[in-house]
Chain A
């Protein structure tokens, strides 16, 4: 490997020649400079081969030097598919090629290229669906051959995060149009953010040559940068890709390990245009690059791209590239001009004066390869005799570099995501964009303007439109004229032997596209799906335009009618880490959370909350639940019920409001009493339940289910936005910590701590509500029967929650108090036959199916769903929630197991546990109405087996309800 001396300054804008770096590629050591991309460092070492193509395993080298092709995808340590022409090289990097068998230089799978005709377009699509099962045979082979790169599954996740950004005007692209727009907008007082994908500000000014002398670009760039730097209203982000456009100018910007979510009032897209390749045989050989790639290579990295070049061009830019090459010591064997007409006279004169041969009306018909297609060695030049047709004979020229430019394709992706349409201007052979939404503007070469003056003026016009919307300026736009016509109308020269690539990523040749249309896939969207054109990493940046032209021609339509495939986000590949980023996953903890952890609780999720399921290790779950349940039944237990939803209703209409929301009657509920509250939706389906405490005439405190309270609160506030009752609705879930002290000894425990409240069964009977102090803490107390024992729910302000827990546990020591978890509570309530809404109900459960008609007042003027309840209850009922039992030794059905009636599904099991209090398996299930009476039997299917369970009267435990009413 010879190390070519780098070109002299000012070439090499990005590299620091004082800082050499060494790295390895494919096991061999190389050196480069800080600021080099991996690709430029390798090219400076004459290492052109960087990858093997996807299908045919052809040798590939950089095409764009701007991260717009898949040719430079390499494996960087554990990270596959890194763009070598964008990733900066760093000291000690270990880089490998991808997609080869054996070695990159000698890929054993390169034979696949010779079998190309056996792998026609749509090969995968057509070959592996029929006969049935054939895919199973082929899958391993194809996955092995088709994969790109290797994933390191042992990788350590790194810290990626997200941040919001806000600006008045965002300018996408820092080329002449973008900077001109930014300056105009900032000067009028707008806050401007300029987003640049590349490390350098200036866009085409950083690499393109606009004049014969080659001074204009640098001069203008310096001027613009000086102005931008001096302007306090402008912020510039480089190395930042705007990866999508979303509604109302919401733009994801990726910079390093951060995803910015930008909200801009106005968006100016000055994203530029992609130089296009010419389609001819072997147009993918290493040493064939776009003109812009060659100038980037020289200007950014001072790498001399070859010794002897041929320039193939459809515009004047190719001539300017030739001058650039010559000045940097590259011999230019010829300029092959696709056009019949000459460039502007001074340019032609200069080129001829330099002794460069110019061949008009001609094309490269075939690039000649070295052995193994490792590099270009020459070109076969033919005269163009018709659209895509060439003379039978031509001339051959030796070269080691071919620079090509067939014209430009606007970088339309963001604008099309915003809703713009592409239409093809035949006279310009160019796509143009129109139909931009409000607040989105276009400027520069993406807008089909190519001369510097026009581009600068267009940038200012875009800024004026944005400023007009921002009401910062009413200055009129200036008309913009551009005479340049850089696109050659048919730069496609199909070769009978193929390898004339339209899409490098997917190894698709001109005939593949044409064949797709002949097979009936006439729509460009179908052509894409059939042929995979545009599906590769470069996402049609180079294949979209030739594909549109080829499809249009072979289907006798215009290119506008044909169009291009939909450009969806993301614009460039993005890492899942960018999307995942710093994940916000809110957790809610009760005031007693740490006490549960200290007591060894097994915590489970209940929505965002974490709750103790039981106290002990998961391996002995059933044992802990049984022990906790027996403890509550025999002594006293304590459960944290802080997650229970809480809503307060206050005001003169509080009772009227309750009466309209819940199914029961509340107008006459006595103060100091609780009442069961069932909520149905407008369909008459039970959606939540809770306990309503009447604290005073105009003050209710209602509980709701942990997961349902948010919805209940929202529904309540929405209803009252319509009813306009004089009631205040306050969501107080987080304001109260709550416990349920339950068990025969619970009164004795509470007596040790309670003040200002009579705890006797007469003074504080079942279902009463009282206020007082517990351990000196102001408390709301409810006598509830959810678990079926004497019990008190104690609600205190959250900041006192932990102290309350501590006091009760301390006072309960004498009575052997033990905490119990939510799974134990579920068993205890099941023994009492209490329904848990959403576990024992579904989207069809009306009150009649749940035996809740006692909790529905059907005489009052209204409750939500009242009319629906009336309608469904008037119809014959088909199913009902019933209690069932199975013997202790039986298989235990799980929630969801089916209940059968003959060969029909009658319902399903909703809850089921082993109950030591009942010495049997108990459960709730939806059953056919005919089987819902106690004494009936229901058939439950468990893993293919049918169990016959006994339907019993609820509750299973303490049917007289004596224990809870003590």
Chain B
């Protein structure tokens, strides 16, 4: 079984971790084209090379990022997501449309 080096908990068996998919940049959902959105939702590059992935250490609930080579399966680096995501993220406003008002309950 592979060992993954968690930035918080140190090296652990891969069975302690949950894969969270590739780190990807979401296109602006309110301004991108349908095709850009579909690319984001449905397609992944799936190429040989270094991929940047989300991994969760399940027992501590800690998400981190790993750079892994898809051919050798070697994990080159792991780090806290704050290295990439440094500040609060805001979404753009949605353009007004003819959609009905929100229902309040």
Contact between A and B in the complex (any CB pair below 8 Å): yes
Q: Which residues between 77 and 105 of chain B lie within 8 Å of chain A, taking CB atoms?
A: 81-82, 85-89, 91-94, 96-97, 99, 101-105
**9 A-B pairs, CB-CB below 8 angstroms?**
A247-B1, A660-B91, A682-B41, A724-B89, A726-B88, A854-B103, A859-B101, A862-B29, A871-B34
Q: Please name all residues of chain B whose beta carbon is closer than 8 Å to the beta carbon of A725 when the two chains form the complex.
A: 88
**With A717-B63, A859-B99, A861-B92 as contacts: A675 and B18 at CB distance below 8 Å:** no
Q: Please name all residues of chain B whose beta carbon is closer than 8 Å to the beta carbon of A722 when the two chains form the complex.
A: 81, 85, 89
12 more contacts with CB within 8 A, not counting A250-B13, A859-B94, A861-B91, are A263-B13, A682-B41, A713-B61, A714-B20, A717-B63, A718-B56, A723-B85, A726-B88, A860-B102, A867-B32, A871-B34, A871-B38
Closest CB of chain A to B93's CB: distance in Å?
5
A866 CA / B97 CA spacing, docked (Å):
14
Q: Please name all residues of chain A whose beta carbon is closer than 8 Å to the beta carbon of B41 when the two chains form the complex.
A: 682-683, 868
Q: Please name all residues of chain B whose beta carbon is closer than 8 Å to the beta carbon of A862 when the two chains form the complex.
A: 29-30, 91, 94
Closest 4 CB pairs of A and B: A867-B29, A862-B91, A861-B91, A721-B81
Instruction: Judge whether B94 and A861 touch: CB under 8 Å.
Output: yes
Instruction: Judge whether A724 and B92 touch: CB under 8 Å.
Output: no
A250 CA / B3 CA spacing, docked (Å):
9
A588 at the interface (CB under 8 A from B): no
Interface on B for A, CB 8 Å cutoff?
Answer: 1-3, 13, 18, 20, 29-30, 32, 34, 37-38, 40-42, 54, 56, 61, 63, 73, 81-82, 85-89, 91-94, 96-97, 99, 101-105
Closest CB of chain A to B65's CB: distance in Å?
9
Question: Please, how many residues of chain A have a CB less than 8 angstroms from a CB on the other chain?
Answer: 37
Partner of B102 from A714, A717, A859, A866 at Cβ < 8 Å:
A859
Q: Which residues between 735 and 779 of chain A lie within 8 Å of chain B, taking CB atoms?
A: 767
**With A714-B56, A724-B89 as contacts: A860 and B94 at CB distance below 8 Å:** yes
Q: Give B93's nearest chain A residue, CB to CB.
A: A861
A630 CA / B38 CA spacing, docked (Å):
49
Instruction: Judge whether A248 and B3 touch: CB under 8 Å.
Output: yes
A731 at the interface (CB under 8 A from B): yes
Instruction: Judge whether A246 and B1 touch: CB under 8 Å.
Output: yes
Q: Please name all residues of chain B whose beta carbon is closer than 8 Å to the beta carbon of A717 when the two chains form the complex.
A: 56, 61, 63
Q: Please name all residues of chain A whose beta carbon is closer than 8 Å to the beta carbon of B94 when the two chains form the complex.
A: 858-862
A676 at the interface (CB under 8 A from B): yes
Instruction: Judge whether B93 and A718 touch: CB under 8 Å.
Output: no
Q: Please name all residues of chain A whose beta carbon is closer than 8 Å to the beta carbon of B103 when the two chains form the complex.
A: 854-855
Instruction: Judge whether B88 and A723 touch: CB under 8 Å.
Output: yes
A713 CA / B61 CA spacing, docked (Å):
9
Q: Give A767's nearest chain B residue, CB to CB.
A: B105
**With A718-B20, A861-B93 as contacts: A676 and B105 at CB distance below 8 Å:** yes
A871 CA / B54 CA spacing, docked (Å):
27
A555 at the interface (CB under 8 A from B): no
A665 at the interface (CB under 8 A from B): yes
Q: Which residues between 441 and 472 of chain A lie within 8 Å of chain B, taking CB atoms?
A: none
Q: Give B30's nearest chain A residue, CB to CB.
A: A861
Instruction: Judge whether B87 and A721 touch: CB under 8 Å.
Output: no
Q: Give A665's nearest chain B residue, CB to CB.
A: B102
Q: Which residues between 852 and 910 of chain A lie within 8 Å of chain B, taking CB atoms?
A: 854-855, 857-862, 866-868, 871
A858 CA / B82 CA spacing, docked (Å):
30
Q: Which residues between 669 and 694 of chain A lie within 8 Å of chain B, taking CB atoms?
A: 675-676, 682-683
Q: Is the interface of B mostly helix, strand, loop or mixed?
A: loop
Closest CB of chain B to A816's CB: distance in Å?
33
Closest CB of chain A to B92's CB: distance in Å?
6
**With A724-B88, A859-B94 as contacts: A866 and B63 at CB distance below 8 Å:** no
Instruction: Judge whether A731 and B87 touch: CB under 8 Å.
Output: no
Closest CB of chain A to B19's CB: distance in Å?
11
Instruction: Judge whether B37 and A868 touch: CB under 8 Å.
Output: yes
Q: Give A715's nearest chain B residue, CB to CB.
A: B20
A861 CA / B81 CA spacing, docked (Å):
24
Instruction: Judge whether B99 and A858 touch: CB under 8 Å.
Output: yes
Q: Please name all residues of chain B whose beta carbon is closer than 8 Å to the beta carbon of A854 when the two chains form the complex.
A: 103
Q: Please name all residues of chain A whose beta carbon is closer than 8 Å to the beta carbon of B93 when the two chains form the complex.
A: 861
Q: Please name all residues of chain A whose beta carbon is closer than 8 Å to the beta carbon of B37 when the two chains form the complex.
A: 867-868, 871
Q: Please name all residues of chain B whose beta carbon is closer than 8 Å to the beta carbon of A676 when the two chains form the complex.
A: 105
Q: Please name all residues of chain B whose beta carbon is closer than 8 Å to the beta carbon of A866 when the two chains form the complex.
A: 29
Instruction: Judge whether A721 and B85 touch: CB under 8 Å.
Output: yes
A683 CA / B40 CA spacing, docked (Å):
10
Q: Please name all residues of chain B whose beta carbon is closer than 8 Å to the beta carbon of A767 when the two chains form the complex.
A: 105
A713 CA / B30 CA spacing, docked (Å):
26
A866 CA / B31 CA spacing, docked (Å):
12
Closest CB of chain A to B61's CB: distance in Å?
6
A411 CA / B70 CA spacing, docked (Å):
30
Q: Give A249's nearest chain B residue, CB to CB.
A: B3
Instruction: Judge whether B61 and A731 touch: CB under 8 Å.
Output: yes
A16 CA / B30 CA spacing, docked (Å):
84
* A706-738 Cβ-contact flags toward B at 8 Å (1 or 0): 000000011001100111111000010000000
A335 CA / B94 CA spacing, docked (Å):
93
Q: Please name all residues of chain B whose beta carbon is closer than 8 Å to the beta carbon of A867 when the two chains form the complex.
A: 29-30, 32, 37
A582 CA / B68 CA spacing, docked (Å):
34
Q: Determine which residue in A713, A721, A861 has the highest number of CB atoms from chain B within 10 A of its CB, and name it.
A: A721
Instruction: Judge whether B63 and A721 touch: CB under 8 Å.
Output: yes
Q: Give B72's nearest chain A residue, CB to CB.
A: A437
A111 CA / B68 CA spacing, docked (Å):
60
A857 CA / B102 CA spacing, docked (Å):
5
A660 CA / B92 CA spacing, docked (Å):
12
Q: Please name all residues of chain B whose beta carbon is closer than 8 Å to the beta carbon of A860 when the two chains form the complex.
A: 94, 102
Q: Please name all residues of chain A whose beta carbon is closer than 8 Å to the beta carbon of B89 when the two chains form the complex.
A: 722-724
A859 CA / B97 CA spacing, docked (Å):
8
Closest CB of chain A to B80's CB: distance in Å?
9
Q: Please name all residues of chain A whose beta carbon is closer than 8 Å to the beta carbon of B85 when the two chains form the complex.
A: 721-724
Instruction: Judge whether B1 and A724 touch: CB under 8 Å.
Output: no
Q: Give B89's nearest chain A residue, CB to CB.
A: A723
Partner of A714 from B13, B18, B105 at Cβ < 8 Å:
B18
Partner of A247 from B42, B56, B73, B105 at Cβ < 8 Å:
B73
Closest CB of chain B to A324's CB: distance in Å?
44
Q: Give A684's nearest chain B residue, CB to CB.
A: B41
Q: Give A858's nearest chain B residue, CB to CB.
A: B99
Q: Please name all residues of chain B whose beta carbon is closer than 8 Å to the beta carbon of A668 when the two chains form the complex.
A: 104
Instruction: Judge whether B81 and A250 touch: CB under 8 Å.
Output: no
Q: Give A247's nearest chain B residue, CB to CB.
A: B2
A718 CA / B64 CA spacing, docked (Å):
9
Q: Please name all residues of chain A whose beta carbon is closer than 8 Å to the beta carbon of B1 when the two chains form the complex.
A: 246-248, 250
Q: Give B37's nearest chain A residue, CB to CB.
A: A867
Closest CB of chain B to A418's CB: distance in Å?
13
Q: Please name all residues of chain A whose beta carbon is closer than 8 Å to the beta carbon of B20 when the two chains form the complex.
A: 714, 718
* A207-248 Cβ-contact flags toward B at 8 Å (1 or 0): 000000000000000000000000000000000000000111
Instruction: Judge whether B87 and A724 touch: CB under 8 Å.
Output: yes
Q: Determine which residue in A246, A862, A867 has the highest number of CB atoms from chain B within 10 A of its CB, and name it.
A: A867
Q: Please name all residues of chain B whose beta carbon is closer than 8 Å to the beta carbon of A861 when the two chains form the complex.
A: 30, 91-94
A731 CA / B54 CA spacing, docked (Å):
20
Q: Determine which residue in B2, B34, B41, B86 has the highest number of CB atoms from chain A within 10 A of its CB, and name it.
A: B41
